[in-house]
Structure 1
């Protein structure tokens, strides 16, 4: 996920495959995001043309399954997946005000995932409550409300000892927040609800490097929580909270927070 000072924004979610072998590609998905963000800074660069080029490129077919959201701040955003039934069809969101649309590790038109429906409803409620507060609640309070949405943990706890990501894979669609999976049995459950992480980050794989294997091993869960706020006047705030470090150690709440603010330049 990223946003530039020229107003380009991109969000990529890896597609939840039925097996780990299907999730591994020859190229990093991060290349797809960067190709939009670090491309031309000219706002006239057409989002539709870019996405159609991604769909037609041989590299897109060699990347593990993904859904890509991209476009310009305060303009319609395109969504495309290289695992959709109709790969050439591009979906557009943010075409009007007051739209709330959820996307997770599946195609955009898949409405069977509880976490997507829950996320849309909880986000709408959080925004409505913030608006009702008016001047009594600032931007930081809105971020706190949205973090509460991201902390929603409804993942069923399986009885199997030493459960792995493979064991849980079909349950991940049920919870917005994913607690640590693959941790030692005596790990404090309270810490799990506070934060979780995947030790390996697939985005670290070079574009021409070996296929990423981190999906199949180590600890898995929610490592970072990101909130992007954009105002009509072009002011952007990018907030990110790190919950676990790369050694799977808990980062105390607040100590892993980073916030960046800037105005979009033409």
Structure 2
């Protein structure tokens, strides 16, 4: 039950985004790195990548040109709804990379309309996708409401049904695994928005203190204690807590124990995940790659039609994105577990990147007349 919280209320930052990726802890996943789109020789996309599915999608990413996107799943429950499959034939993470690799001259609005009109969201499991271009003009609103970030989902059939957020100053937004505009707001989203607003109301003096405060929000654990419940019975409880500690039943624990017992593995750091259709290596928490986990990825892809469900489930990664008024981006991802399922001491799994958005002062306009 992932969660993403966003705010335009901090005086020093045009946008702040914080995110928890809740997933099966052993799901093969790279660390964040710069990689190139299909038609580019420049490594201008920054994200971690899911190595479980051959699309190598992601849940959150950003480009040097300011394309930003973050994904949450929508948990489908009806096996008879053909339009909204429980396990999609296409990767949800591919929706994020579709925007990250889109033509830089295409506006957010045009991209969303194109995806909804064509095959873009067809055959994808339930999802919500926040996407947009980081431009000063979108966030420096001067009292006007603008279209900054779109919230696209497979629950929208046309552009008019797509909510837009972050186009006003002083706002706090939240999204988890339900529809963005669902009136019954999940407790974790409501709590997250309140905690973020409280932090912004009395912002810490420095960026390190701010980042620590944001991580403390992502660490907020209010999951009801539920000993003896099956894994499936625990799922509905996850809407109560921003942070999800490792949970699972006996079978999940046995899989976790097996992975932990595998011990340290030889690592390589010279493999680009985006260049390998089926991963021959898995990146560990320190950014290097290990070959031993490859068999796990292949086995799970072949044997689990409902997706990767090996080992315990919980908050696997945490991400903070700060965008200041000069278009400077501070990107920090925290890994909480290594590839074997061992917990990483807090802060030792951090990967940090700073860069300048190219075109920060430009407007988001395309030649066909579609504007933000």
Please tell me the TM-score bracket, short chain as reference.
Answer: 0.7 to 0.9
Compute the displacement of 1:17 (Å): 2.5
For the pair 1:36 / 2:109, whether they are aligned, the reply is no
Pick closer, same or farther for the CA change 1:167–1:96 going to 2, 3 Å.
same
2:179 is aligned to: 107
For the pair 1:129 / 2:174, whether they are aligned, the reply is no
1:190 is aligned to: none
* Structure 1 CA distance for aligned equivalents of residues 118 and 129 of structure 2: 14
* Structure 2 CA distance for aligned equivalents of residues 9 and 29 of structure 1: 16
SS in 2 for 1:13: strand
1:156 is aligned to: 224
Instruction: Considering Cα pairs closer than 8 Å and 6+ residues apart, tell me whether 1 or 2 has the greater RCO.
Output: 2
- Across the aligned residues of Structure 1 and Structure 2, the Cα RMSD in angstroms comes to 2.8
For the pair 1:79 / 2:151, whether they are aligned, the reply is yes
* Structure 2 CA distance for aligned equivalents of residues 69 and 105 of structure 1: 13
CA contact (8 A) 1:178 1:221 kept: yes
Compute the displacement of 1:179 (Å): 0.7
Compute the displacement of 1:2 (Å): 0.6
Larger radius of gyration: 2
* Structure 1 CA distance for aligned equivalents of residues 339 and 160 of structure 2: 37
2:66 is aligned to: 7
Structure 1, gaps ≥5 residues long: 188-199
SS in 2 for 1:222: strand
TM-score by length of 1: 0.81
Pick closer, same or farther for the CA change 1:26–1:87 going to 2, 3 Å.
farther
* Structure 2 CA distance for aligned equivalents of residues 91 and 31 of structure 1: 21
SS in 2 for 1:226: strand
SS in 2 for 1:49: helix
1:16 is aligned to: 75
1:193 is aligned to: none
CA contact (8 A) 1:146 1:227 kept: yes
For the pair 1:174 / 2:279, whether they are aligned, the reply is no
Compute the displacement of 1:216 (Å): 3.9
* Structure 1 CA distance for aligned equivalents of residues 305 and 158 of structure 2: 26
Pick closer, same or farther for the CA change 1:24–1:6 going to 2, 3 Å.
same
- Which deviations, in whole Å up to 9, do the C-alpha atoms of 1:75-130 show, x marking residues without a partner? 21000111359886110001111110101111001243101100101011112221
CA contact (8 A) 1:10 1:37 kept: yes
TM-score by length of 2: 0.59
The structure richer in strand per residue is: 2
The structure richer in helix per residue is: 1
Number of aligned residue pairs: 239
* Structure 2 CA distance for aligned equivalents of residues 210 and 49 of structure 1: 38
